[in-house]
């Protein structure tokens, strides 16, 4: 099953014109130094936690995230390709080496695992593993892997253990187009096909996926 899903992920990247490579495409010289990133992350801990696990569900957990994805997001926010007003002042002074080091540091930390709501988990599991053919929705696992760890080489992010409110907000932002730094609109197209109930079920399931 894992080989099938990985093959589907590769096919999606090809069909979408290399979207996966574009996710990882940044001017950042990775890999960075996790040791150097530890010191630079002091300012980040106020929102994202001392160990990359946020105590505020509206802010994402960064621990265990793919370094390629983190580097792209930090560069996009710094360079104005992604709007996150709360972070604009924090990232404005970061150079490419700072971003590479921060991405390496957070990627080196053990990822967080939450507790899914049993009432939602089964619906979320079916959608994550198998998609919804009638709605034209591919399985999330094809790009983000069956365990939700993501694919670093393609720049697909880890989703496992993320706070449900943050995941919901992210999918809603992609669906509405208010977040648009996804190459070839891959996530905007997928998220726009999701119902509110599907978004809620996915967000809850992912919080406990491991």
The answer, yes or no, to whether residue 43 has pLDDT greater than 50, is yes
According to CATH, what is the number of the domain 26-108?
A: 1.10.760.10
- Annotated domain spans of the chain: 2-19+113-207, 26-108
pTM: 0.87
Domains 2-19+113-207 and 26-108 equal at CATH topology level? yes
Listed as own residue / partner, the contacts of 75-79 with beta carbons closer than 8 Å and 24 or more positions apart are 75/26, 75/27, 75/28, 75/99, 76/26, 76/181
Question: CB under 8 Å to 141, separation ≥6 — which residues?
Answer: 5, 128, 129, 148
**Whether the Cβ atoms of residue 69 and residue 157 lie closer than 8 Å to each other:** yes
Per-residue pLDDT averaged across 42-46, rounded? 96
What tens digit of pLDDT does each residue of 56-101 get? 999 999 999 999 999 999 999 999 999 999 999 999 999 999 999 9
Q: How confident is the model at residue 29 (pLDDT cuts 50, 70, 90)?
A: low
Phi, psi values for residue 72, rounded to 5°: -65, -45
* Domain 2-19+113-207, classified CATH 1.10.760.10, yes or no: yes
The answer, yes or no, to whether residue 186 has pLDDT greater than 60, is yes
């Amino acid at each position: 099953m894992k080989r099938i899903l990985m093959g589907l992920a590769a096919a999606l990247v090809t069909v979408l014109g290399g979207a996966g490579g574009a996710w990882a495409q940044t001017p950042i010289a990775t890999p960075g130094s996790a040791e150097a990133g530890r010191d630079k992350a002091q300012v980040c801990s106020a929102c994202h936690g001392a160990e990359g696990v946020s105590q505020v569900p509206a802010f994402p957990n960064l621990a265990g995230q793919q370094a390629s994805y983190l580097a792209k997001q930090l560069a996009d926010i710094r360079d104005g390709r992604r709007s996150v007003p709360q972070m604009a002042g924090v990232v404005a002074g970061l150079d490419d080496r700072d971003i590479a080091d921060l991405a390496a540091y957070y990627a080196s930390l053990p990822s967080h695992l939450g507790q899914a709501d049993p009432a939602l988990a089964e619906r979320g599991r079916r959608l994550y593993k198998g998609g919804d053919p009638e709605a034209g929705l591919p399985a999330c696992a094809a790009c983000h892997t069956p365990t939700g760890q993501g694919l670093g080489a393609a720049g697909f992010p880890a989703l496992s253990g993320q706070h449900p409110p943050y995941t919901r907000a992210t999918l809603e932002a992609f669906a509405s187009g208010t977040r648009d730094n996804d190459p070839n609109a891959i996530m905007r197209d997928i998220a726009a096909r999701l119902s509110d109930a599907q978004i809620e079920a996915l967000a809850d399931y992912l919080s406990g996926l491991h």
